[in-house]
Structures are given as structure tokens and as C-alpha cells.
Homo-oligomer: A and B are copies of this chain.
């Protein structure tokens, strides 16, 4: 029973750390200055070759930014944009775009 309680506390601590690691407001501020021109103020693409980021999974977004930063994924603009981002910047940006809710409907 004690082991279960300790495991529960550890899980809660880890979850809390994970939740507090990313700052949505900071991500929103950073996105407004760095990303909005191409990806839209609310994450809806403004260019035919830029993806919409609104509502994308947080893990996917962070992974792609890290791939651009490391050079695993390349793009003439994104490779430059991602270069100076810290892990914290990336977590914040991913949290901001993932926090936006999207609804989809099939065109008639």
C-alpha cells in the first residue's frame, strides 16, 4: 500500500513538473513576433507552403522545431528561425499552438 502511495506521489510530481515546464503565454508572445507572419496569429497558415499549427499535438510540434534546429529537417526559413530557440522556447511554442482548439468539417 505504501509503495502504491509513493508511486502515486511520484506520478503526480512528474505530471506537475511536465505541466509547469511549458509556458503558454510566453509561447504566445514568442509566436507573435517570430511565427505569425507565415503561420497566422492563431496558427492558421497565411502561405501556401506553410503549415497551420493551431491544435497540432504538442509533442509533434516540439519534435519538428528540434528537427529544424538540429538540421534533421530543413527549410530555408525554418532552419534559420529554429536555430536560436532554447528547449524552453520550443516547449512554450509547442504548448501555445497545441492549446488552440480546432474543429473540422467536410466541405459539401
Chain A contact residues, CB within 8 Å of chain B: 42-45, 47-52, 54-60, 63, 72-74, 99-107
Contacts and interface: CB of A to CB of B under 8 A. Distances in A.
B50 A52 contact: no
A84 B63 CA distance: 26
The binding surface of chain A is classed by DSSP as loop
A58 to B, nearest CB: 7
A72 B67 CA distance: 13
A73 B74 CA distance: 8
B63 A49 contact: yes
A63 to B, nearest CB: 6
Interface centre among A47, A57, A58, A100 (most CB of B within 10 A): A57
A41 to B, nearest CB: 10
Given A102-B104, A104-B55, A45 B60 contact: yes
A104 B60 contact: no
Given A102-B103, A104-B101, A56 B45 contact: yes
